[in-house]
Structure 1
Amino acid sequence: MKMQRMTAADRRKQILGIASEEFARTGFYGTSVEAIARKADISNPYVFRLFGTKLGLFIAVVDASFDDIVDNFDRVSAGLSGREALVAMGQAYGALVRENQTFLLVQMHAFAACNDMEIRTAVQTGFGRMWHTVKNNSGADDVTVKQFLSLGMMLNNMAAMDLWSLDETWAKACVAVLPVEHWTP
């Protein structure tokens, strides 16, 4: 039986998925292109042909993670505004970081690697896209958008620590009621 070759777009998508898992596990500095290529059953030069460099591949993974956020925010807030849009986006983000460990760790590794100027620029651009999406979809003012995104960063940390499964009073208080449910922009 002859195997059908993947298109470049399909191969790129496959590599991004594998790279996301590898970068989530070992970060930008601890991940090798060789490991990614091996898992994709392709050569290193093919990865470089599609993404240029390891840095280019990492930035593509970071961009894709911000695309996921913006797409989710647009999807869940369609037809909503104000508090309802904020709650929908907040709940969607909370579910994303709690249910998708790869996504969560890619986000955290992206912020941790911001000492590299190109990664920092990609993260700044992605964060800016999130800011504008929250602002445009909810109609919230800058202070509320800042509070919303601050809560998102707290959700990252809460998910990384899996506070939902911790039987401690302080952890239960953290996860009991999220402030976004009380905002009134």
Structure 2
Amino acid sequence: MGRISAQERREDVIRAAIAEFAIAGYRGTTTAAIAERAGVKQPYLFRLFPDKKAIFVAALVRSAEDTRLAFEEAADGVEGGEQARQMMADAYAQLISTRPETLLMQMQGYAAVAASEAQGDDLIGEVVRAGWMSIWETVHLSLGADADKTASFFACGMLGITLTAIGLPVGAGR
């Protein structure tokens, strides 16, 4: 069995960071907790990333990309419309049920935008907005570039996320 490359270790750290930040947010997560979860020494983190913020940014980018890829793969080969919408909705439900930290990381990112921008730092906001736009574009194209269908898809998705987050079944309120 060979040594693990720096790239593989970096990936392990990003996955560990997603899990830790998803639970405690940016301020509540320590690099020691990330290192422990990733199975590396804390100083090694700083050979891979310059600081905690860089780890957080990498985690934000990865969680957005995981979501975007879930939508892209679900709609691959589907001719838009209702079938694409249903396939993407099912893929997202599968993603957040098997890897809830992906959704939680995105939510932590939204919260961190407000906090960082209040301090005059827009990097996290830029990263979150870029991730959101890549997800939007993937869904938008998969739904035949129909703005109303895309907006409706995300509105229903956000309602489902909210209901799930507060412990109600997705069909509540119908």
Equivalent in the alignment of 1:182: none
Equivalent in the alignment of 2:108: 109
Equivalent in the alignment of 2:43: 45
Written as runs of structure 1 = structure 2, the 5 A alignment for 1:130-141 is 130-141=135-146
* Corresponding letter in the other structure for 1:141: D
State the Cα distance separating 1:139 from its structure 2 match: 0.6
The superposition leaves residues 136-172 of structure 1 with CA deviations (integer Å, 9 ceiling, x where unpaired) of 12214212212211222222222222323xxxxxx64
Rounded to whole Å, the distance in 2 between the matches of 1:160 and 1:56 is 27
Equivalent in the alignment of 1:183: none
State the Cα distance separating 1:122 from its structure 2 match: 0.8
Conserved? CA contact 2:163–2:172, under 8 Å: no
Conserved? CA contact 1:18–1:40, under 8 Å: yes
* Corresponding letter in the other structure for 1:121: E
The question of 1:85 aligning with 2:84 is answered: yes
The superposition leaves residues 62-109 of structure 1 with CA deviations (integer Å, 9 ceiling, x where unpaired) of 111111111111111111112211111112112322332212211211
Runs of 4+ in 1 over 6 A off after TM superposition: none
The question of 1:156 aligning with 2:155 is answered: no
Task: Give the direction of change, closer, same or farther, for the CA distance of 1:157–1:173 in structure 2 (3 Å limit).
Answer: closer
Equivalent in the alignment of 1:18: 16
Conserved? CA contact 1:85–1:138, under 8 Å: yes
Structure 2 unaligned segments of length 5 or more: list them: 117-121
The question of 1:145 aligning with 2:150 is answered: yes
Written as runs of structure 1 = structure 2, the 5 A alignment for 1:2-81 is 4-80=2-78, 81=80
Conserved? CA contact 2:70–2:95, under 8 Å: no
What's the RMSD between the two structures over aligned residues? 1.9
SS at match of 2:113: coil
Task: Give the direction of change, closer, same or farther, for the CA distance of 1:69–1:41 in structure 2 (3 Å limit).
Answer: closer
Query: Please, what TM-score do these two structures have when normalized by structure 2?
Result: 0.86
* Corresponding letter in the other structure for 2:137: H
Corresponding residue to 2:128 among 119, 123, 126: 123
Q: Which structure has the larger Rg?
A: 1
Rounded to whole Å, the distance in 1 between the matches of 2:94 and 2:39 is 32
Structure 1 unaligned segments of length 5 or more: list them: 165-170, 177-185
Greater shift in the superposed pair: 63-72 or 134-143: 134-143
Identity of aligned residues (%): 34
How many positions carry a matched residue from both structures? 167
Task: Give the direction of change, closer, same or farther, for the CA distance of 1:97–1:39 in structure 2 (3 Å limit).
Answer: closer
